Amino acid sequence: MPTPAEFLEATKYLGIATLTMAGITLLAFGLGWGFRFRLVGITSFMGVLTGGLLGLSFEPFTPTVVPGSVPYKTVYDSGAAQIVIKVSDTITPTELEATLQQAAANLLKPSRLGVMGVAPTIRARTIVHEAGGVSNLVYLGQVQPIRDPNADSDLDIKIFADAFDALSASTASLTDDHA
């Protein structure tokens, strides 16, 4: 898969070709060539392609991988300030912290819309299946970006210890019920 640097390089060459085609189009208008309006369409389309390549050079396609993280799925994304990811019910607090760092690197982009002053939040949750066929959502932690340039870290990661206690208790009771 091409990297952003390769897209930027391709943008340079396509930009030169677009400017060359624009020059030919101006020449066609000056000399009254019959296909000059077709050249306008070609030049315009090349300009759109150049802009698209430029846009692709800003955003990396390869997701960030944080050592110690576990796979997660995005189950809700408002496009603004709320994102919810689903993690396994066997996750540890250390794995959750790494997973939240990875999710923040991959999901918290400058292009994310939102209300001024409201920091986007990624919440990690799992589903606990209890006896009697009842399933409960358990929120294990969350991460928010810190906008203070003087802060030690750029992320505020909170791990909910009481949720892990409830998770281990419900997992233990399920094992006891099935034994």
Query: Mean pLDDT, to the nearest integer, of 24-34?
Result: 93
Write down the pTM of the prediction: 0.64
User: Which residue, chain included where needed, has tokens 């897209």?
Assistant: 7
pLDDT single digits (tens) 69-91: 999 999 988 877 889 999 998 88
CB atoms within 10 A of CB 120: 21
Average pLDDT across the chain, whole number: 85
Distances (CA, A) of 124 to 28, 44, 119, 165: 60, 45, 16, 15
CA 6 to centroid of chain Cα atoms: 20
Q: Of the candidates 5, 18, 20, which has an alpha carbon nearest to the alpha carbon of residue 49?
A: 18
Does residue 132 surpass a pLDDT of 70? Answer: yes
- Interior/surface letters 125-159, b for 16+ CB within 10 angstroms, e for the rest: bbebeeeeeeeeebebbbbbbeeeeeeeeebebeb
Max Cα distance, the chain (Å): 89
Question: Which pLDDT score is estimated for 175?
Answer: 54
